Amino acid sequence: MERYLRNQDAISEEDQTALSHKRVVVVGCGGLGGVVIECLARIGVGHMRVVDGDVFDESNLNRQLLSSRMNLGRPKTLAAQQRVMAVNPLVEVEAVQAELTSDNAPELLGNYDIAVDCLDDIPSRLLLQQAAKEAGIPLVHAAIAGWRGQVAVVQPGEDLLSLLYNNSRQEQGEEISTGTLSFTAAALGALQASEVVKLLLGRQGLQGELLILDLLNASSTRLRLT
Amino acid sequence: MIKVNTEDYPWHPGMTVRVLLDEKLFTFRHIIVRVNGEFVPEEDYEHHPILDGDDVLVLHLMAGG
């Protein structure tokens, strides 16, 4: 199919077919989520559920790919759905305009291959990890603060996010003082999407490690957590 | 010698978590510290000893999206 011609041979025809049958739930449609959704739509993941209870505001314009002056005040999930449909109508996309809660998490993650953590606070991230664990599916995590970001893959039964956020009494991290930048969100969202695709295709990805990217110093570090 | 985020770092007597953080210029406010896998709460930084051969993990707390 001409649409996927430039995916080859990094993604074989067999891989492409496999991706078209995969189902991914992306929780959070902001800075990270917008990039993840864009990448997964273009590469041809068959079905995406996009979850967010928020609407765009002006402070999102510095980094959130799906935001524009035209959709301020409108749901992020609606923008995500419209973007996917505009880019690749072969991808089914379901928009869920809701915040993740312990009540709705089992239903939101049920019948999906992978969950993607594009959230922006610590309690929600830990809640999503627990929900993914209970659903028995991997979770691909990313978070950003200023020029830095991190990515990890949490397999069912692991609690890597509990190691990263251990006993934190805070809801936020360094981003409170450092902010969140456009290229950091783009870089980490792209890394996150690549880990999703590797998982979907059974390729070797991050395992028990945290990949930290420091864009200010143009450096990366892989730390073993387990 | 100790490990700090997988890299070798010279150990010296009297080293505590606080001393190490100061030496390594980990000045961010939101930090997670683990010594040999065990979480060290911030209130213990001043007194928690770092021993020769310890494996120390220092992570910046990040949660933005």
- Name the pLDDT band for B27 (thresholds 50, 70, 90): confident
The DSSP symbol for A68 reads: -
Please compute the mean of the pLDDT values over residues A175-199 and round it to a whole number.
Answer: 97
Q: Using the beta-carbon criterion (under 8 Å), do B6 and A223 form an inter-chain contact?
A: yes
> What contacts A179, CB < 8 A, 6 or more positions away?
A145, A146, B64
ipTM: 0.89
pLDDT, position A168:
62
Q: Using the beta-carbon criterion (under 8 Å), do B61 and A165 form an inter-chain contact?
A: yes
Domain residue limits, chain B = 2-60
- Name the pLDDT band for B28 (thresholds 50, 70, 90): confident
The DSSP symbol for B51 reads: P
pLDDT, position B29:
76
Query: Which range among A8-22, A109-123, B31-45 shows the weakest confidence by mean pLDDT?
Result: B31-45
- Name the pLDDT band for A7 (thresholds 50, 70, 90): very high
Q: Which has more confidence, A226 or A122?
A: A122
pLDDT, position A66:
98
Dist. CA A127–CA A112, nearest whole Å:
17
For residue A186, the surrounding DSSP H or E stretch is helix A182-200
Q: What is the pLDDT of residues A26-75, one digit of tens each?
A: 999 999 999 999 999 999 999 999 999 999 999 999 999 999 999 999 99
Residue with tokens 């077919």: A17
Tell me what the pLDDT averaged over chain B comes to: 93
Q: What is the pLDDT of residues A136-169, one digit of tens each?
A: 999 999 999 999 999 999 999 899 999 898 756 7
Q: How many CB pairs under 8 A join A and B?
A: 86
- Judge whether residue A203 has pLDDT over 70: yes
Domain residue limits, chain A = 10-224
Is the Cβ of A177 closer than 8 Å to some Cβ of chain B? yes
Q: Name the percent of chain B lying above pLDDT 90.
A: 77
The torsion of the CA quartet A30, A35, A40, A42, rounded to 10 degrees, works out to 130
pTM: 0.94
Q: Which of A174, A181, A223 to mutate to test the interface with B (most CBs of B within 10 A)?
A: A174
Please classify residue A57 by burial: count the beta carbons closer than 10 Å to its beta carbon, then call 0-12 exposed, 13-18 middle and 19+ buried.
Answer: exposed
Determine the distance in angstroms separating the CA of B15 from the nearest CA of chain A, rounded to an integer. 23
Residue with tokens 């009297």: B14
Give the DSSP per-residue string, A77-126: HHHHHHHHHHH-TTSEEEEE-S---TTTHHHHHTT-SEEEE--SSHHHHH
Please compute the mean of the pLDDT values over residues A185-210 and round it to a whole number.
Answer: 97
How many other CB atoms sit within 10 Å of the CB of residue A80? 26
Q: What is the CATH number of domain A10-224?
A: 3.40.50.720
Determine the distance in angstroms separating the CA of A180 from the nearest CA of chain B, rounded to an integer. 7
Is the Cβ of B55 closer than 8 Å to some Cβ of chain A? no
For residue A210, the surrounding DSSP H or E stretch is strand A209-214
Structure token digits, residue A206: 């991050």
Q: What is the pLDDT of residues A88-130, one digit of tens each?
A: 999 999 999 999 999 999 999 999 999 999 999 999 999 999 9
pLDDT, position A167:
58
Q: Name the percent of chain B lying above pLDDT 70.
A: 100
Which CATH number does the domain B2-60 belong to among 3.40.50.2300, 3.30.420.40, 3.10.20.30, 3.30.160.150? 3.10.20.30
